[in-house]
Amino acid sequence: MPVLRLVLPRLLTLTFILSALVSIVSCSDSNDVQEDARSADAHLTTSKTYIRQGQFRAAMLETRNAIKKAPGAKTIGALAEIYIELAQFRSARSLLEQYAPHYPELNLLLAESFVSLGKFHTAQKTLLLVPTALHDSEKYALVKAKTLLGVGEKEQGHALFKTISERYRDNPTIQLTYVIATFNRNPAEGEIAFQEIVERFPESPDILLASAKRHFLQQNFSATELDLMKALHLAPTTDIMTPLKGDILNLLSKSLTQQGRFAEALPFQKLLDESNPKLQDVQTRLEEAIAAIRAGDVERGEELLEKIHQDFPNIDSAEALLGLVSLERGDVEKASDLFQHSIDPETAAPRLSAAAAMAELKLDKKEEAITILEQALQANPDSLQLQSLYGLSAIQAADKQEKAAVALEKSIALGATDFILFELLATYYFESNQLENANRVLKQAANQFHEADEQLRIFGLYLSNGKVEASRQFAAKVKTTQKDSEAGWMMGATLNIKDNNLVSATAQLQTALQLNPKSEKAWFLLGNTELHQQNWAAASKAFKQTIQLNSDSKLYLSSLLKAELQRSTDWPTMVATYENLAANDKQRVQFQDFLADYAIYKQRFDDATQLIDAIKISPASSAEQIGLLERHLISSKAQQQFTLEDVAGARQTLEEGRTRYPNSPELAFSLGAVLLKQGDLAAAQSLQQTLAKLEANVLASLLNADILAAQNKHEDAINRLMLTWSNEPDARIAESLYRLTITLKKPLNDTFLAQWQAIAPNDIRPILIQGMRAQETGTGDPQALYQTVIRISPDNVTALNNLAWMYQQDNRLEEADIMASRAVQLAPDNASILDTAGYIKLKMNNSAALALLEKALELAPNDGSIKEHYLAAKQKFQ
């Protein structure tokens, strides 16, 4: 027998509770207030009469009149109850959310609305706001019991249901709620309870409907029909199709259809269609749209969904589908907007919540994506898709890393097949010094992933985190267990290179290439190995192979260029080398573009011009590509002239360039900088206005700030940039603000630094500033920030030194010594860095501390801390 999931019935009304607790008449002698209160009570009395008569439209009108006369918990709660009775839960929620802050007792009805919408976690939070005077009410107990079941606290929920059912044995709604909860938990026990409740309350249409649903799932259609016909007879006659009557008619139609009695089912289905013709129309059109998408006609499906959205803007399913289509077609902003209006992460299917989060991630709105995923995971903790996406999104956020690691662990436990999840988790464990966990994750990865690339990445994780012996053991194991794979030989070659045994590395790479001649990574590593041995021709040959395997890699193109330059290849031969590698015109233009860019960078402007001319005559080139190169050439020429203080020449070059490209914001901005150098503020201001007309807001703001700074209006310049930043965050704005705040010795705030880091994740400056500030104030996680800096820029002396100092404070002396020694290599004449390295060696009882601290004291003889460290070393080692 299939497991039956019955929907718990609607809750009891709260009017009598609210009436007992709340008086809407304030303490006043005003006759008008008293009259309004009496009038409101009269409207509510009439409304209740209409409800008993099944006239809900008239009841709502009377209740709204009551609210006009005396708005308060009593009147607003009455309208919310009608909405809930008619299953208009969103209307109830909207109304109650507006007034609950003013009338706390309404939070109980609001919690009920959230439960009906499936928002159990939100309902749980809302229940905390319900006044304690209502906690003994049966409604509060029912809402709480349903909420506990909804959030997964099933034992507590069932225990509370049992208590309520024993206390209110004569209340059919409460008894039915308990029976359904019992049935969902234990169908056999629930079956007996159902039989008993039907016998006890034979004239309850709600109980008969629930019994019919149970029979329907058991495919006992005769019993289903019998229960439904009784329920239909007993259901109140109303002017609106109530949820109860709609459910009865719908199940009757389905039951008769299942038996092949289509003619008998038709009148019931017709009644349903007539009660809500728009719904039927929407359903038909949605099905047509979905069918078109499934058939591959996405444009037709999108067109149909757009029309539904226009005609029925409140149909969430159409909005959500349209959002999925928009995301698939690359219109991320539209998808994000549609998802915001149609997807509630707490109740939506995991796939939809993941899509909504993905849209935010593609818009670089990581915080919004993380919020969506956190809400969705409350309701769907076992969703592999949500856990994986949360782990990927949050692992780089310092304040979310621990939760992200838990999510990645759960993803792996749920059967994740994406290697990146293992890679990120292991990296996190290495960086947080959880070495056992890191090794465990990598062992899991090694057992699950057997492709050469994945094995090499596991090896790389060991090696890059200083686990050389573990990397050797792993390389040996791969060589033994995967003899047909090039991976083990490439690992061996990498270790040879580390040990400076380049001849052996070359031999191992040649073996790797015999196993897989199409391994671009092996060819690239061989090329670099030959390069280090100054075998320029061999290196060039290897890099040519990598380019033939992957012509899109700028790294491979640059490596070949380096090898050819070492061979002293002349420029025409260099160009011919690349052109001969091209398999077609498209590749030839691609290589010429690369060389032209290099020539411009090296200020070989004539060579660049020749290449651009060759690109122009190729049918594989585009006007956009040519324009980009020519503008780059003009800017670089002007920059060279500007650097050589030929400001007039730079101005002429840029003005001529603007004649050819009048709509180029970049050329206009560069010319503005030249004009400021000449002191021509009026002309620069004119260009700033031109940039504004071209809608180049960032460049217009930057030039405006430069103009203000030239007038010594630095504060105004900062304010102008911050205004642009608030509307359009851009790394160039951040850099300009950074320079201006240094000039004024004005620190950047933490919010700005975090935003800067978010839009420029590879710029170490905001991360480094945050790290130093966190270290100074003792807040946040400075170590994680310094680790991020080092990951991006391994030779950053400040991060190496500061992290080494913090490691020694944590007594992680070996790690501290490695970092401090690296910092000394990079900055051998910096007193602070020598002091850090020397003090760490002093704590390690290493006599090398004395020489380091002696040199530090020579460089900074007045530094008391350095002197103290030196004297301690001198006493210990002399």
185-194 residue pLDDT tens: 888 888 888 8
Helices 831-843 and 864-877 pack at an angle, to 10 degrees, of 40
CB atoms within 10 A of CB 649: 16
Structural domain contains residue 814: yes
| Cβ density class 831-868: b for 16+ within 10 Å, e for less | bbbbbbbbbbbbeeebebbbebbebbbeebeebeebbe
Question: Considering just the CA atoms, what is the radius of gyration of the chain in Å?
Answer: 37
Cβ contacts of 603 within 8 Å, gap of 6 or more = 636, 640
Q: Is the confidence at residue 214, as pLDDT, over 60?
A: yes
pLDDT at 4: 45
**Banded pLDDT at 6 (limits 50, 70, 90):** low
**Banded pLDDT at 46 (limits 50, 70, 90):** very high
Alpha helices per DSSP H over 499-535: 502-515, 520-532
pLDDT at 385: 94
pLDDT at 644: 94
CATH code, domain carrying 826? 1.25.40.10
Structural domain contains residue 442: no
Tell which wins on pLDDT, 708 or 150.
Answer: 708
Amino acid identity of 49? T
Place of tokens 């956190």: 374
pLDDT at 255: 85
**Dist CA 231 CA 225 (whole Å):** 10
pLDDT at 318: 75
pTM of the model: 0.67
Which DSSP symbol is given to 105? G
Task: Say if residues 375 and 352 touch (Cβ distance below 8 Å).
Answer: no
Tokens of 200: 């006890």
Structural domain contains residue 818: yes
Domain boundary among 712, 746, 780: 746
Q: Is the confidence at residue 406, as pLDDT, over 70?
A: yes
489-508 residue pLDDT tens: 999 999 999 899 999 999 99
- The number of folded domains in the chain is 2
**Banded pLDDT at 278 (limits 50, 70, 90):** low
Residue 740 shares a structural domain with residue 802: no
**Dist CA 391 CA 247 (whole Å):** 41
- Cβ-in-10-Å burial (0-12, 13-18, 19+) of 692 comes to middle
759-815 residue pLDDT tens: 888 899 999 999 999 898 888 889 989 998 998 999 999 999 999 999 999 999 999
Amino acid identity of 293? I
Tokens of 600: 């411009």
Task: Say if residues 873 and 849 touch (Cβ distance below 8 Å).
Answer: yes
Residue 873 shares a structural domain with residue 803: yes
pLDDT at 31: 64
Tell which wins on pLDDT, 466 or 689.
Answer: 689
Tokens of 104: 């706390």
- Cβ-in-10-Å burial (0-12, 13-18, 19+) of 602 comes to exposed
| Lowest mean pLDDT across 275-289, 353-367, 388-402 | 275-289
- Cβ-in-10-Å burial (0-12, 13-18, 19+) of 728 comes to exposed
pLDDT at 397: 81
For the chain, counts of helices (H) and of strands (E) = 50, 0
Structural domain contains residue 54: no
Closest to 795 in 3D by CA, of 762, 824, 757, 758: 824
**Banded pLDDT at 1 (limits 50, 70, 90):** very low
Domain boundary among 729, 746, 763: 746
Structural domain contains residue 358: no
Tell which wins on pLDDT, 1 or 458.
Answer: 458
Structural domain contains residue 858: yes
Tokens of 797: 């002396």
**Dist CA 82 CA 59 (whole Å):** 8
Alpha helices per DSSP H over 644-696: 647-660, 665-678, 681-693
Tokens of 535: 């075998």
Structural domain contains residue 808: yes
Which DSSP symbol is given to 261? -
- Cβ-in-10-Å burial (0-12, 13-18, 19+) of 301 comes to buried
pLDDT at 170: 87
Closest to 360 in 3D by CA, of 381, 382, 379, 375: 375
Structural domain contains residue 391: no
Helices 366-379 and 384-394 pack at an angle, to 10 degrees, of 150
Q: Residue 721 sits in which domain range?
A: 696-746
**Dist CA 332 CA 334 (whole Å):** 5
Task: Say if residues 123 and 115 touch (Cβ distance below 8 Å).
Answer: yes
Task: Say if residues 633 and 604 touch (Cβ distance below 8 Å).
Answer: no
